[in-house]
Structure 1
Amino acid sequence: MITIDGSEGEGGGQMVRNSCALSLVTGEPFRITSIRAKRSKPGLMRQHVTAVEAAAAISGSECTGLAVGSPELTFRPGRTVPGEYHFAVGTAGSTGLVLQTVLLPLALANGPSRLVLEGGTHNMLAPPFEFIERTFLPIINRMGPQVSARLVRHGFFPRGGGRIEVDITPAPLAPLDCTTRGQALGVSATALFSALPGEIAERMLARTRRDLADWPEDAFRLHQVPADQGPGIILLLEARYANITEIVSAFGQLGVTAERLAKTSAARIQGYADASAFAGPYLADQLVLPFVLASGGAFTTVKPSQHLLTAIDIARTFTGRRIEISRESGDHLISVG
């Protein structure tokens, strides 16, 4: 059995999610101790429990220590069974993070699956739905499996109540070379808001226009969501290329002005535009799993984050694959062999 110290590296829920996914594919049982030990609220959170429950539900896996606040988890994988599944995270726990846990095992199963996930679709510390749909899933689809996701209802932090539906047609994962972005195709800035004064969203966009002065005027838009799906606000900055779409997001927070959020987000998307790496920091974390399960491939990214380094360590532990990090023309090249 693989034993993982959950306090090492990034030390967050990513270790639990990636371990579950890799365990289901490789058949290796694992035990994680000291889960999220360095966080202000250590142990498993509700969305982590739901993610593990989802992994167990699609496979008949056995778990011990699966409870909110638990510092230790043991997971003995069963066999992934395709089908129709419905998982509710509760409040605004991230539906996207639950999807990341079960997606690849189902994408490598022996039949199609359909998922209904309820909870948060736009919440802090997790990729928003648009990132999953437009940035991450297109790469999975290029590797072989075909996955489509639909946003049925928005779920903003802290209320949640969102719903996404995902259809998965499995296929073997083929190695992919993701080292060039390709031709620039366009940009957009969207202030998505619900049950809040429109003036907040307008201020957010006004600051974004100021900081991204070279973006065309028609790139900026307001999108009001029905009030019963809020309250909440998020700024989505999108840069589209032939081979990749990068999305930078900023979620409204109490005590943080719209202008400050916009300024930070604009700096991040401008930093990506000024660089040449294929994957931004958040996408890089998520590419490790499909690339190691494809037994090959490469992608370039910006300076590796602790999340990325931890994802690489977990992938090496479960698969024994060679994953190398090197510098290439100012970028960092992650190669799997």
Structure 2
Amino acid sequence: MIDLDGSQGEGGGQILRTSLTLSMITGTPFRVKNIRANRAKPGLMRQHLVAVQAAAEVCGADVSHADVGSQSLEFRPGPIRGGDYRFDIGTAGSSTLVLQTLLPALLYGDKPSAVTVIGGTHNPMAPPVQFLKRAYGRVLAQMGATVEIHLKRFGFYPAGGGEVLAEVTPCPQLRVIEIMERGPQRERYAEAVLSNLPPSIGQRELDIVGARLGWPDDHLRLIHLTEQHGPGNALMITVEYEHVTEVFSAIGDKRVRAEAVADAVVNELKDYLDSTGALGEHLADQVMLPMALAGGGRFTLHRVSQHALTNADVIGRFVPVKIGFEQSDGRCVCIVEKSSL
């Protein structure tokens, strides 16, 4: 039994999600206290509870204290079972964070899986579905995994109702890879998504992107939805390179001008472009776990966040690897290598 303190480091939901994933894969039970202690509303929110319930269903786990608001939890996993699953968050909580918990574990299932999650698909403080599909999914593919992600319906706060389908083929041994360079740029584009809102809002966002980045109109895509649940807006910028794809995003809000939404995404992209790291801050955080499962790997990254340091520490509690960060030729390098627990 591994004991964890959810207030350590970054103190958010990633501690719980990583623990659930690795508990399922390694068969190691865990207890965690002070769940999301550093958040404005500590404890399990609906999306975190659904992640726990989904993990429990996939591996037949015994779980204690699985309730909204719970700040402690005990999880005893059983064997991972592939198959067809459907989970409804019941709110606009993030579907992608639930999927991030399940996808690596289902690679170790006894048969292929198809997982549908209903909830929010484009949320503040969570990766959009396009990030999972284009950025994270590409790294998994490079490691030998077959994971297909399909956005069936957009879901925005507060209505939710979005739907994502993930199809996972078992892959019990991931390949060790290195991503040290981005390589030449292959494609770049911005997407402004509007659900039941005037298209002019998205056009204003794209105008800012085009002006600040000097991109032509054919790199600026307006996606106007009319049959989704509730109003919503997301702006995403995708940059694809030879070795890595990154997706940067911001979610519109009625209290935030379209120009401010666009500036936020462009600033994040330019910060990445001005660095020498192959992986951006959020992708770097997420690929440490599959690299640990592979038994090693290396990549350069934009910056080391507290989120990443916390995630690395939790991974090391379950898997016999050492995750370290060092400076080499003016660049930050993450090194994942085998060690002894």
Length-normalised TM-score, structure 2: 0.96
Alignment-derived partner of residue 191 in structure 2? 190
- Matched with 2:228 is 228
Q: Percent identity, aligned pairs only?
A: 42
Residue 291 of structure 1 corresponds to which residue in structure 2? 291
Contact 1:44/1:69 (<8 A) preserved: yes
- How many Å separate the matches in 1 of 2:166 and 2:39? 31
Alignment correspondent of 2:100: 100
Shift of residue 151 of structure 1?
A: 0.8
Amino acid at match of 2:152: V
SS at match of 2:321: coil
Aligned residue in 2 for 1:19? 19
Residues 70-89 of structure 1: per-residue CA shift (max 9 Å, x gap): 01011111110111111111
Q: Is the CA contact (8 Å cut-off) linking 1:303 and 1:331 kept in structure 2?
A: no
CA contact (8 A) 2:122 2:128 kept: yes
- SS, match of residue 234 in structure 2: strand
- The alignment partner of 1:147 has SS state of strand
1:186-223 CA distance string (max 9 Å, x none): 2111111111112211111112222112x233111211
**Residue 209 of structure 1: aligned partner:** 210
Partner of 1:178: 179
Separation of aligned partners in 1, 2:266 and 2:188: 12
Given that 2:154 and 2:228 are in contact with CA atoms closer than 8 Å, whether structure 1 keeps it comes out as no
Q: 1:320: how far off?
A: 3.1
Structure 1 Cα separation of the partners of residues 287 and 35 of structure 2: 23
CA drift at 1:227: 4.0
TM-score, with length taken from structure 1: 0.97
Cα pair 2:196 2:228 within 8 Å, conserved: yes
SS in 1 for 2:327: strand
Deviation at 1:331, TM superposition (A): 2.4
CA distance in 2, matches of 1:28, 1:109: 16
Paired residues for 1:44-55 under 5 Å: 44-55=44-55
Aligned length: 336
Deviations 1:115-159 (A, max 9, x none): 111111111111101111111111111112201011111111221
Residues 218-249 of structure 1: per-residue CA shift (max 9 Å, x gap): 11121101243330011111111111111110
Q: Following the alignment from structure 2 to structure 1, what is the Cα–Cα distance between the partners of residues 42 and 7?
A: 10
Deviation at 1:299, TM superposition (A): 1.2
Q: Which amino acid aligns with 2:335?
A: S
2:62 paired with 1:62:
yes
Report the residue type matching 2:53 in the other structure. E
Q: Structure 2: which amino acid aligns with 1:296?
A: G
Per-residue deviation, 1:109: 2.0
CA contact (8 A) 2:280 2:303 kept: no
Name segments (4+ residues, structure 1) moved above 6 Å: none
Using the alignment, how far apart are the partners of 1:227 and 1:25 within structure 2?
A: 39
Q: How does 1:104-183 map to 2 (within 5 A)?
A: 104-171=104-171, 172-183=173-184
Q: Measure, in 2, the Cα distance between the counterparts of 1:217 and 1:254.
A: 26
Q: Tell me, what secondary structure is at the counterpart of 2:335?
A: strand
Q: CA deviation at 1:254?
A: 3.0
> Aligned partner of 1:190: which letter?
E
The answer as to whether partners of 1:152 and 1:163 remain within 8 angstroms in 2 is yes
| Matching residue of 1:71 | 71
Cα contact 1:120–1:156 (8 A) shared by 2: yes
Provide the C-alpha distance between the structure 2 equivalents of 1:238 and 1:273, rounded to a whole number of angstroms.
12
Name the amino acid aligned to 1:88.
Answer: D
| Equivalence for 1:91 | 91
Partners of 2:38 and 2:265 in 1: CA distance:
27
Q: Which residue of 2 aligns with 1:325?
A: 325
Alpha carbons 2:210, 2:216 under 8 Å: kept? no
One-letter amino acid of the structure 2 residue matched with residue 146 of structure 1? T
Q: SS at 2:228's partner residue?
A: helix
